[in-house]
Structure 1
């Protein structure tokens, strides 16, 4: 699954319009024109240029405005917005922080700082500034949307879902990528029916949205709707015949239904398109294994390990195959390597410990492994205590 960050230009324009609506610039019609009023007039002219995407002219007007009124938080904010749009992140940060220094409760500048840090993958800082923005006004759907993204990339997926749901409760017509991102968050937290609804909303608006088609196929596969999953992956391949993910996903459905002939055909087609992706090669070995052809299965896996001896995915599949075939010495060798590569994985430590004990080998070492597994993975203590 891939979370989408294709939001920046749309939201920059949206936030600009939001700022215009929320922060109108006014000037007195009587008496001599003050420096602040002249600066405000230049800011308004700069905004007109911004709306026409005439960034250079807009920048010139905002620079003039802040030279006339050095305490114009709006001039600094809109300069920061231009620099953010142009990818000049250091200059954007400098301007936006100056705006906030002048007016600490300026929501547009706070939100733009959050947006900047999101663009830079500085997710904790983005979260901080977006929360500060919402503390001033909770009714900001685009800010909730941005906060949801920052939380997702920080690994706080449940909080991300809440933020997205808040955004949609205020503005149902958010960009299609917001529906997609919420679907991914539901998907990753096993809220599959809600993920289906989100992905289907994406496809209602963009029927050729490849990532949504692929992910919806994955969800239906998990839910046991294999035919619907196959149809969705085939839809992807009609749009993009070279889509490796769709081919792998399609092969995996055939493998799970033990249609080994189709699975092999699909995996081979994926390999012919991209030999660097290990998934179809690894799974082709599984197809051989399921056919009872362990020699060819092992040959596929050995070739992958020659390219990368530390590939845990391949080692895991091989170790499980050796266990199933009761080739315990080979299984022990593989799981020992895995514990070296992943010393903090309780499940692997327990498997090796149990295997050694079952074979009456290296019993003190086996006991230490199981005890370590108990400490590393407390939710599964009961299973490991049995070991």
Structure 2
């Protein structure tokens, strides 16, 4: 907080009578002597002198204003308040005493009364810095950010080189989610006071949130002994963002004992380990996140993906199932649950997940195809047919859906329709071996073995090692 000096002396008009004027001049000299003690750095002696003057003349404006000021300077704001109130009652427009009284109110946790005094000063002297600054701090504490911004901006116009004002203006902008403007003010504060670690910290974190490479220098300056978790984590991210992954990983690994119970730290470490190809170590770090924060959505998702890629489908299914329950609006979680469950042999769970995806996003043809295929495998021919037709309604040349609808026709013994569907599938995808095989089987049932063998021979040229093509071709040739 900024304190303003009270007046060093005050003109007191003498009244008629020589002896009274002489006493007045003596009192004024004692005021001047007491003020001189303060100016000489003898604050305690100055307080005793003004206390004596106040005891002798309780209504003396000089004694009231000076003693109130000195009490404020020595952190005895409670004693300062009544003295300054009496002084301002005598001279309501004394700007310095008004400011000191506002500061005393602020120090005694009376922000409303403090703000009233600061605003009164600004009506008398709009270009006075301190009332703008102090009003801004009150508005900031009240979370009245628009008013705080206005006051701090006025203060910066009056004192452009005041680092504290720029910093506080940055805090107000940040609270209003005006991150670019906040970062600009924090940078000004840090550049004005390069020795101040707090200003460097604020600038670094603000730039880190904006993913600006300039964050790195400020964060390194703010780091200190490494005990500030926010700075430490942001610095690691800044190293990674700057392409210095090895530095980032080395730095994070060095923080493990300090950040042992910080789930954000372990998550970032897991991401870095994964990016560096250290999959088992990444898995270990993600598991540590979930020990500390069992419902961390990102950790559940990332560990699930890691396990899925490693072929650990059952555990991946468990994680994606939990994630879907915690975050029911996440389509990605349901897509991943369906894939993991299908690979784990939990077809019913996969079908349920895919149905939810399709209800939310009917245009997801790839998911609808997986759903249709799973329904077919489960024996739900009508359900499979419905979804194959839905895919074909959006894309009549989808080879997988044509093959699927061909299988439905084949199942119903609608052989001409099945033949047409399979032929359309191989036209849409000339190397589609499954469709060739299904077409040959259909032709065989239609008593066209020669044509069926030709289809299989064509397929064998495309996929010489396909076991189904080879087996059916041998069977048909031997029976022909």
Instruction: Pick the TM interval, shorter chain.
Output: 0.5 to 0.7
Q: Choose the corresponding residue for 2:380, options 225, 230, 242.
A: 225
Q: Choose the corresponding residue for 1:159, options 299, 315, 332.
A: 315
Q: Could you say if the C-alpha distance between residues 93 and 204 of structure 1 is closer, same or farther in structure 2, counting changes exceeding 3 Å?
A: farther
Report the equivalent of 2:204.
43
Q: CA deviation at 1:238?
A: 2.0
Secondary structure of the structure 2 residue equivalent to 1:59: coil
For residues 253 and 119 of structure 1, the distance between their equivalents in structure 2, rounded to whole angstroms, comes to 45
Report the equivalent of 1:79.
238
Q: Could you say if the C-alpha distance between residues 225 and 82 of structure 1 is closer, same or farther in structure 2, counting changes exceeding 3 Å?
A: same
1:133-172 paired onto structure 2 within 5 Å: 133-172=289-328
2:205 is the counterpart of 1:60: no
- Partners of 2:263 and 2:292 within 8 A in 1: yes
Report the equivalent of 1:342.
none
Q: Choose the corresponding residue for 1:69, options 201, 209, 223.
A: 223
RCO comparison, higher one (Cα < 8 Å, 6+): 1
Q: Could you say if the C-alpha distance between residues 202 and 38 of structure 1 is closer, same or farther in structure 2, counting changes exceeding 3 Å?
A: same
CA RMSD of aligned residues (A): 3.2
Secondary structure of the structure 2 residue equivalent to 1:297: helix
- Partners of 1:187 and 1:195 within 8 A in 2: yes
Structure 2, gaps ≥5 residues long: 1-185, 187-192
For residues 34 and 100 of structure 1, the distance between their equivalents in structure 2, rounded to whole angstroms, comes to 29
Q: Choose the corresponding residue for 1:183, options 333, 338, 347.
A: 338
Report the equivalent of 1:99.
252
Larger Rg: 2
- Partners of 2:223 and 2:232 within 8 A in 1: no
Q: Could you say if the C-alpha distance between residues 281 and 253 of structure 1 is closer, same or farther in structure 2, counting changes exceeding 3 Å?
A: same
1:238-277 paired onto structure 2 within 5 Å: 238-277=393-432
Residues 143-172 of structure 1: per-residue CA shift (max 9 Å, x gap):
112211111121111111111123234333
Q: Could you say if the C-alpha distance between residues 121 and 275 of structure 1 is closer, same or farther in structure 2, counting changes exceeding 3 Å?
A: farther
- Partners of 2:335 and 2:353 within 8 A in 1: yes
Secondary structure of the structure 2 residue equivalent to 1:305: helix
Pairs aligned (count): 281
Structure 1, gaps ≥5 residues long: 1-26, 50-54, 328-387
When normalised by structure 1's length, the TM-score is 0.63
Q: Could you say if the C-alpha distance between residues 118 and 102 of structure 1 is closer, same or farther in structure 2, counting changes exceeding 3 Å?
A: closer
- Partners of 1:281 and 1:300 within 8 A in 2: yes
Q: Could you say if the C-alpha distance between residues 322 and 179 of structure 1 is closer, same or farther in structure 2, counting changes exceeding 3 Å?
A: same
When normalised by structure 2's length, the TM-score is 0.52
